[in-house]
Amino acid sequence: MNKKTLIALAVILIFCGQAFSQAGTKRKRPLPYEYGRVVINNYSDTNGLSPVVFEHWIHRSKFTCRVCHVDIGFAMKAGATGINAADNQRGYYCGTCHNGKMVVDGKTVFASCLKEPIIESRRGLIVRPSNEDLRRCVRCHSMGQNVARDYDFFEFSKPLPKERFGNGIDWEKSEELGFIKPVSLLEGVSVQRKSLTVQKDFALNAKVEGMPDIIFSHKKHTVWNGCELCHPDIFMGVKRGTSHYSMVDISEGKSCGACHTTVAFPLTDCQRCHSKPV
Instruction: List contacts with other proteins (CB under 8 A).
Output: 70-73, 75, 82, 86-87, 89-93, 115, 118-119, 122-123, 191-197, 199, 226-229, 231-233, 236, 238-239
Q: Tell me whether strands 107-108 and 202-204 are parallel, antiparallel or unpaired.
A: unpaired
Residue 13 to residues 6, 7, 26, 249: CA-CA distances in angstroms? 10, 10, 20, 32
- 247 torsion bin: left (phi>0), alpha (psi -120 to 50), beta (else): alpha
Q: Closest approach of Cβ 195 to other proteins, in Å?
A: 7
Name the residue nearer to other proteins (CB basis): 72 or 256.
72
For the chain, percent helix, then strand, then coil, each to nearest 5?
A: 35, 5, 60
Name the residue nearer to other proteins (CB basis): 27 or 194.
194
Q: Closest approach of Cβ 222 to other proteins, in Å?
A: 9
Q: Closest approach of Cβ 6 to other proteins, in Å?
A: 59
| 216 strand-pairing partners | 202
Q: Closest approach of Cβ 231 to other proteins, in Å?
A: 5
Name the residue nearer to other proteins (CB basis): 71 or 163.
71
Q: Closest approach of Cβ 275 to other proteins, in Å?
A: 25
Name the residue nearer to other proteins (CB basis): 86 or 180.
86
Name the residue nearer to other proteins (CB basis): 13 or 196.
196
Name the residue nearer to other proteins (CB basis): 71 or 170.
71
Burial class (CB in 10 A: 0-12, 13-18, 19+), 83: buried
Residue 190 to residues 18, 108, 184, 187: CA-CA distances in angstroms? 51, 20, 9, 6
Q: Closest approach of Cβ 192 to other proteins, in Å?
A: 6
The alpha helices in 93-148, defined as continuous H runs, are: 116-122, 131-140
The span from the CA of 100 to the CA of 103, in Å, is 8
